[in-house]
Amino acid sequence: MGLPNGVELILAPNPSLLTGPGTNTYLIAAGEGHGGCVVIDPGPEDAGHLTKIAEMAEARGGLNAILITHGHPDHVEGAARLRELTGAPVLAWSRAGSPQADALLADEQVFLIGGRQVRALHTPGHRFDHLCFLLEDAGALFAGDLVAGVGTVVIAPPEGDLAEYMASLRRLLALELRVILPAHGPQIDEPRTLLEQYIAHRNEREAQVLAGLAAGPVTVDALVASIYADVDPRLHPMAALSLTAHLLKLEREGRVAREADATGTERWRLA
């Protein structure tokens, strides 16, 4: 399945372990008989990338708005420069997350791109200010970092919250989606299958955390070494953040507790 009608992908030149091939910037053109377009996630402040976005938008009748899924630099860093190039306002969930924002979006807020409706959905978890955007006529969800085209995403406290993340995934299951367009990696043509796999994966990881605590108090690093033994060690610091998110969720639920030894080293145990 190709991209939905009127949607174009512009890949930012910022590949890395965490961004995969780079940040996906999406351009959505207005419906037939209308001019203009919007951009989702302008990406890093890369002159060539931002100039290309501006030129493509101008060829489609001009840029109406710059939509931000969340305030991580690989998504929002180029927003101010793209605004200078095009005059388009920057729209985001909060200025705490995206200081560049000219206006804030509310959950379930609908706006028009010509004859097309886009709905903003507040989906915290990966980050407190995370939004997805639903292009309703295509059943297409622009998912930011809620999911990825390959692998999973990092939940890094305190910005990230695993309980909120799980609730956001379940919220999306209630939608009639035909395709998910993530900010990193290829599009997802079986949205329900992927969302169910993401939920199952986090539940399995939680079970692994609880099993890892069964023998007694352990550090986060020890849990990472055990649970992520088959993962590239360069990703272990990110894995430690996600495991910490699991532990904080379990602590709020009263299922685990933490303690510090005489050296101040923090260990986690079953409650």
Task: Name the residue range of residue 148's domain.
Answer: 7-189
Q: 63 and 23, same structural domain? A: yes
Q: 112 and 35, same structural domain? A: yes
Q: 225 and 134, same structural domain? A: no
Q: 253 and 171, same structural domain? A: no
Out of 189, 217, 242, pick the residue that ends a domain.
189
Q: 256 and 145, same structural domain? A: no
Q: 247 and 129, same structural domain? A: no
Q: 141 and 262, same structural domain? A: no
Out of 163, 189, 215, pick the residue that ends a domain.
189
List per-residue pLDDT tens for the chain, 271 residues long.
Answer: 789 999 999 999 999 988 999 999 999 999 776 889 999 999 999 999 999 999 999 999 999 999 999 999 999 999 999 999 999 999 999 999 999 999 999 999 999 998 899 999 999 999 999 999 999 999 999 999 999 999 899 999 999 999 999 999 999 999 999 999 999 999 999 999 999 999 999 999 999 999 999 988 999 999 999 999 888 888 899 899 999 999 999 999 999 999 988 888 899 999 9
CATH code of the domain containing 264: 1.10.10.10
Out of 189, 224, 250, pick the residue that ends a domain.
189
What pLDDT score does 230 carry? 86
Q: 224 and 165, same structural domain? A: no
Q: 163 and 109, same structural domain? A: yes
Q: 144 and 25, same structural domain? A: yes
CATH code of the domain containing 53: 3.60.15.10
Q: 66 and 25, same structural domain? A: yes
Asked whether residue 100 is assigned to any structural domain, the reply reads yes
Split into its structural domains, the chain has a count of 2
Output the DSSP codes for the chain.
Answer: --PPTTEEEEE-S--BTTTBT--EEEEEEPPTT---EEEE---S--HHHHHHHHHHHHHTT-EEEEE-S---HHHHTTHHHHHHHH-PPEEES-TTT-TT-SEEPPTT-EEEETTEEEEEEE--SSSTT-EEEEEGGGTEEEEETSS-SSS-----TTT--HHHHHHHHHHHHTS--SEEEESSSS-BS-HHHHHHHHHHHHHHHHHHHHHHHTTS-B-HHHHHHHHTTTS-GGGHHHHHHHHHHHHHHHHHTTSEEEEE-TT--EEEEE-
What pLDDT score does 168 carry? 98
Q: 164 and 31, same structural domain? A: yes
